Structure 1
Amino acid sequence: MNPPSIRSIDLNADLGEGFPNDRVILDFVTSASVCCGAHAADRAVILETLREVAQHHVILGAHPGFADRDHFGRREQVTSARAVEQLVLGQVDALALLAAEVGLVIQYVKPHGALYNQAQRQAEVAEGVLSAMVRLQLPVLGQPGSLLEASAKVRGVPFVIEGFPDRRYRDDGRLVPRSEPNAILNDSREIESQVLRLVDDGVASFCIHGDDPRAVENARTIRTLLEQHAIVLKGFV
């Protein structure tokens, strides 16, 4: 009889956006997607977050977003592939310089907010993100079955499938927008069921939103669930 396969998954958090729980969240995660300074935060906040990431020995990712602080980078923009490419390259380069000050290297990119959502389904935005990834030679996080995933395969960009334990999904696999009722899961049994389903579906990384007031609770809950089901916490790079 063959031994049972060991399942593993990464737990990432969006950090460095100026919220108070980053240090505690880092106790639970295996990777950190750190704000690049466009949609939130400032140099001091980001640098402090990077120091904490280094101390916790988790994987560092860049979290670039639209420069729209009034809407926290979550308002969709009309843009071009070239503009998106330059946005991503500029923000990742800026974060890389700060990361180098504390001895860290960026190992992946996860777009933020509207940039993330538009990249999943809009050809111009997906093209811009992937053109940046080709130049950076880094993997990108995104949703399964998306335009971004399909285009990444064509262009040879490593694609990391991301899942959201506390967000409701539509039947087509897309997330229910935050603006709609019941977009956020609160029932622990429902979250557990979704976590196990997403693992079985091949998700490689779960996301914890650092701006959520329940971020620490969510991180602790998801990590405990994974450990209870013998799913190993492990970075994807």
Structure 2
Amino acid sequence: MPRIDLNSDLGESFGSFAFGDDTAVLSSVSSANVACGFHGGDPRGIRATCAAAHAAGVAIGAHPGYRDLAGFGRRFIEYEPGELTDEIIYQLGAVQALARSVGSAVRYVKPHGALYNAIAHHEGQARAVVRALRESGTGLPLLVPPDSVIERVAEESGVRTFSEAFADRAYAPDGSLVPRAVSGAVLTGEAATAQAMRIATTGRVLAVDGTEIAVRADSICLHGDHPAAVRLAGDIRTALEGCGVEIGSFV
């Protein structure tokens, strides 16, 4: 039986600004990328999401990003490498402490937003992130884009990696994600469900120009910060299990 992880970005609500229904999404996914407070999330919400994930038997991952609340971490920032390393370590420590406080633990790391996109090709920032993982002493693996700079740098440094693909994002012919600013970049409903099924059963996706490209994936991501996230998560899980795919965390 084929097996795949379903992950979602959660814990991103901040104060009175709510994003998504974490508890409902957690009933369908097997891993939760929990915000660390720099792009979204606050201590109370992060702790509550960790508690809900623990209760649901869902693996908790730290989801560090650029220090950019105003831009939700989706704007590139040119960091001095040492500063970026320090900020990643800081964010990991925060979520580790909050997860521990509810009887759980962080089991992996997935960078967020613009940082995730940057380290796919930006050698300096990729090395800063890997250095943070090594010097934090956690031994945690990274969830990364396949065939990326961060994957290579991590493996050269002895940091374990797992690869992911996206159910709800359109792909360019070169295998990169279509930028969010482009019309059609975010998939919803049947299109996202169909893409998840194709990834899980064939290891391929259809790019925006109609070409078929290979994607290596231990995990499939679906974003939790839009109104249809709960229904989409349930539909994807039901569709995958209906065609014989087992859902389970990669860690």
Deviation by residue 1:90-112 (Cα, 9 ceiling, x = unmatched): 10001111111111111100111
- Provide the residue aligned with 1:145 in structure 2: 147
Whole-angstrom distance in 2 between the partners of 1:169 and 1:184:
10
Secondary structure of residue in 1 paired with 2:45 = helix
1:128 aligns with 128
Map of 2:3 onto structure 1? 8
Q: Displacement of 1:209 after TM fit? A: 1.2
Correspondence for 1:183 = 185
For 1:222, the equivalent position in structure 2 comes to 236
Determine helix, strand or coil for the equivalent of 2:93.
Answer: helix
* 1:144-184 deviation digits (Å, cap 9, x = unpaired): 12111122221221111111111110111100000011112
Letter in 1 for 2:133: M
Secondary structure of the corresponding residue to residue 125 of structure 1: helix
Question: Aligned equivalents of 2:87 and 2:27: distance in 1?
Answer: 31
- 1:115 is matched with 115
Aligned to 2:196: 195
CA distance in 2, matches of 1:121, 1:132: 18
User: CA offset at residue 20 of structure 1?
Assistant: 4.0
TM-score when scaled to structure 2? Answer: 0.88
More helix by share: 1
User: Quick check: 2:20–2:226 contact (8 Å CA) kept in 1?
Assistant: no
Map of 1:3 onto structure 2: none
Q: Secondary structure at the match of 2:55?
A: helix
**How many aligned positions are there?**
231
Q: Which runs of 5+ in 1 are unaligned?
A: 1-5
Structure 1 vs Structure 2 CA RMSD: 1.4
Pair 1:205 & 2:219 matched: yes
Aligned equivalents of 1:69 and 1:179: distance in 2? 19
Deviation at 1:223, TM superposition (A): 0.6
Specify the SS of the correspondent of 2:146.
coil
Q: Using the alignment, how far apart are the partners of 1:225 and 1:50 within structure 2?
A: 27
* CA shift for structure 1 position 28: 0.4
8 A Cα contact 2:20 2:229, kept in partner: no
Check the 8 A contact 2:10/2:22 in 1, yes or no.
Answer: yes
Matched-pair contact (CA < 8 Å) for 2:35–2:64: yes
Residue 207 of structure 2: aligned partner: none
CA 173–104 in structure 1, closer or farther in 2 if over 3 Å, else same: same
Alignment correspondent of 2:170: 168
Q: Is the 8 A contact 1:81 1:126 kept in 2?
A: no
Residues 210-236 of structure 1, C-alpha deviations (whole Å, 9 max, x = no match): 212211122112111211221100110
8 Å contact 1:145–1:173 — kept in the other structure?
no
Deviation at 1:11, TM superposition (A): 0.6
Structure 2 spans left out of the alignment, 5+ residues: 14-18, 204-215
TM-score by length of 1: 0.93
Q: Percent identity?
A: 39
Instruction: Give the aligned partner of residue 59 of structure 1.
Output: 59
